[in-house]
Chain A
Amino acid sequence: MDYLSTTSSVSRHYRTLVIFCILTFCGSVLLSAEPRLSIKCNDQTIELTREQLQQMDAIQIETSREKKGLTITENWTGIQVAQLTQLLGRPDFLSVILRSDDNYQVRLSREELEQSSAVIAWAKDGKTLNDGATRLIVPNMRAMYWIFNPSRIIFETEKSAIKPTALILLNSLEASLTYQEKLTPFEKDSGYRFKDIALTAFPDVRGNFRLIAQDGITHVLDYQTYLENAIVAENGDSLNLKSPDMPAGMWIKNLVYIQKDDLCIVNSGICKDMTEVLNLLSIDPETVSIKADNENKTVLDYNKNFADPQWSQSRKVFLWYKE
């Protein structure tokens, strides 16, 4: 009996200790979970709490959106994203990436940022957003850019993409790729793993890829963060990119163009000729000549459909830009 009561007492103390440890751990997690905004440019990073953000010079902007046939006008209070560069000594940035905790990412060029007067807002129509939330508001741009709780802002000072100087058609790579019926974790999708395409075509897959959808929306995404586990699912001639490392809102429907460094891969099932590719890239066809070899000899007609033998005769074509 004594033995039993001693065991029970030890077990009770042990339980109390475990509960105490759990509560202490949860408390410390909750305290450290105060939302912070990290702002980075090159090697410099600063972190701001929401309170520190609110102490900066706030502005008010008005936005109008069409929703279900109604025009919704909203007033937002927040800090201009461009103003945050003051904290980093006003770097001469070219673009900015804004990312939320769930890895949702948008990228704005400096021009887009300055023209739109994008803000990180903490109040709408005079009322603080729920649960201490913040929201990126980019007037005149689609709501897909208006991300909730941006937690990381990166000002980029280097060009994220150069003009492509070599092009291959995706169907010419297919012999080297393994078509998969079930692309786990997307069991219902069949097609290719992005990793297989990337490792087949590009010498160094680390870093940013430029991906363009048929509607012209461009994504610049880091391979290790977003694309290493991504799939390229076939749906007729269309390709859809999905990744378990991306929120579904970032998945790319009708992917037509993949670029890393100088080399691009084009889905000729959707992009029918070079003019369409150059349109996607906002490149004037008159400023580029397409050649079938690297010795600058055979000039190809960029108006000819990708089904024309001139394209299938060379595995890779070269783009030479006129000065």
Chain B
Amino acid sequence: MSPAEWSAVRLTAQLAAVTTLALLVIGTPIAWWLARTRSRLKPVAASLVAMPLVLPPSVLGFYLLLLMGPQGPVGQATQALGLGRLPFTFGGLVVGSVLYSMPFVVQPLQQAFEAIGERTLEAAATLRASPWDRFFSVALPLARPGLVTAGVLGFAHTVGEFGVVLMIGGNIPDKTRVLSVAIYDHVEASEFADAHRLSAGMVAFALVVLVTLYVVNRTARDSAGAAR
């Protein structure tokens, strides 16, 4: 592979790692709230989180571009804070990826939190655990399989995204040219052998990740079942 391609691989891994971390930090409280709330706002919030599943990535990218651009409110804020403009930077890519991969992290987490019975958390309360304490000592450990699934899906989905990245990040080598964009470049230039190499690598990566995830989840379920 060429140095440019290696750079794309590195950039992709970096973007996916940072995005996944950010998503776990942001997505966990959102998932917890969605799993526990009785608020009437819940369907609205759940829909907003799920939006990227149904919207074309170009729509999300377009609006993010407007928001983060020099005239957009977010763009003005980042400039006022001395952060500069986000479009066509790595930071901008992270913001776009976080929003775009949000449902893949929040939904498994939310399901994991919902599976924890209300009674178990109440038992913790009657055993003197404060709300924060209950979250960290009971909810998080019990949601661990969901946490793993969320992390893996978030990472894999970020690796595989294209539309949002192209809209927000463009195609700047070493800065915003990730693997999916590099493949697009090769195809545009009729370099099918190169496109093939990278694409096959992506297919293998996705397959390995998903098979691992399913095997791990099934092993966890089986051992729980056998113990019972």
Does chain A bind chain B?
no
